[in-house]
């Protein structure tokens, strides 16, 4: 039974083709909102601060004017924001190409995979999916968890994670794993609250991400069998 009433007004059900636009919108908005926090993350890196400071001082001493260094630092900040934005746009595009444009085939026609949406008053407000994990035998990978901003803080993400764990348990899986990033702190708190443990932190294989210490985190939930 895949339909689940979590609370009076929240319903979690399998994805239908009609949900396509909502799902892509929820995912795109959920990812894009991390652009400002990622910019802050970059600015907090000692390397970035040192670089900006050196440019500022070098131009200040060589030009003896405040305008040029301020202008140069402003341009560098704008370029940094563009790079972060580009990184997210690229990730969103890759995700659409890889699976979100083919939800039926990737998630609903494969064994041990599924895609769910959370609905409130007939409106799709959250998403989650799972697939067999590539590098961990007998594990499922939780993916595409996102909730509309207007519906956060109501336990919807927790309920979506719960349905993935139940799906994995019913199939006799040893656990569920997922990947998130260093800037997704709300998601990290959620996973830790529901029993996931951080098992590793690793670099994104992109030059700009490496340069700015933008790391990915892997979390795992070990499933205990129900004892009857």
Ligand X SMILES: CC(C)(COP(=O)(O)OP(=O)(O)OC[C@H]1O[C@@H](n2cnc3c(N)ncnc32)[C@H](O)[C@@H]1OP(=O)(O)O)[C@@H](O)C(=O)NCCC(=O)NCCS
> Are 118 and 127 in contact, with CB atoms under 8 Å apart?
yes
Separation in Å, CA 217 to CA 100, 102, 181: 22, 26, 6
Select the residue interacting with ligand X from 39, 113, 124, 147 (CB under 6 A).
Answer: 147
Q: How far apart are CA 108 and CA 100, in angstroms?
A: 12
Binding flag, residue 187, ligand X (CB under 6 A): yes
Select the residue interacting with ligand X from 145, 164, 168, 177 (CB under 6 A).
Answer: 145
CB atoms closer than 10 angstroms to residue 45: 14
CB 210, min distance to ligand X, A: 20
Binding flag, residue 184, ligand X (CB under 6 A): yes
- Nearer Cβ to ligand X, position 91 or 208? 91
Binding flag, residue 127, ligand X (CB under 6 A): no
How many CA atoms, within 13 angstroms, populate the side-chain half-sphere of residue 66?
A: 0
Structure tokens at 187: 């998601």
Structure tokens at 208: 């700009």
- Nearer Cβ to ligand X, position 130 or 147? 147
Binding flag, residue 93, ligand X (CB under 6 A): no
CB 150, min distance to ligand X, A: 10
CB 22, min distance to ligand X, A: 14
Q: Site mask, ligand X, residues 27-46, x = CB under 6 A?
A: ---x--x-------------
- Nearer Cβ to ligand X, position 39 or 59? 39
Maximum distance among all Cα pairs of the chain, rounded to whole angstroms? 79
Residues lying near ligand X in the complex (CB under 6 A) are found at 30, 33, 145-147, 152-158, 180, 184, 186-187, 189-190, 193
């Amino acid at each position: 039974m895949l339909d689940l009433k979590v609370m009076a007004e929240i319903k979690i059900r399998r994805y239908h083709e009609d949900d396509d636009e909502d799902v892509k919108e929820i995912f795109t908005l959920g990812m894009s909102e991390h652009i400002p926090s990622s910019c802050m993350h970059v600015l907090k890196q000692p390397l970035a601060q040192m670089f900006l400071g050196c440019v500022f001082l070098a131009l200040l001493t060589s030009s003896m004017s405040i305008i040029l260094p301020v202008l140069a630092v402003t341009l560098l900040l704008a370029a940094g924001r563009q790079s972060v934005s580009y990184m997210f746009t690229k990730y969103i595009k890759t995700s659409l190409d890889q699976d979100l444009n083919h939800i039926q085939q990737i998630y609903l026609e494969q064994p041990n995979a599924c895609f769910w949406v959370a609905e409130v008053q007939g409106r799709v407000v959250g998403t989650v999916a799972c697939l067999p994990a590539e590098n961990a035998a007998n594990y499922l990978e939780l993916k595409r968890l996102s909730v509309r901003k207007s519906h956060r803080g109501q336990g919807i993400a927790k309920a979506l994670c719960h349905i993935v764990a139940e799906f994995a348990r019913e199939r006799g899986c040893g656990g569920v794993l997922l990947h998130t990033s260093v800037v997704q702190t709300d998601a990290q708190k959620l996973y830790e609250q529901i029993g996931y443990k951080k098992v590793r932190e690793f670099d994104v294989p992109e030059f700009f991400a490496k340069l700015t210490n933008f790391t990915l985190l892997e979390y795992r939930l070990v499933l205990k069998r129900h004892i009857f």
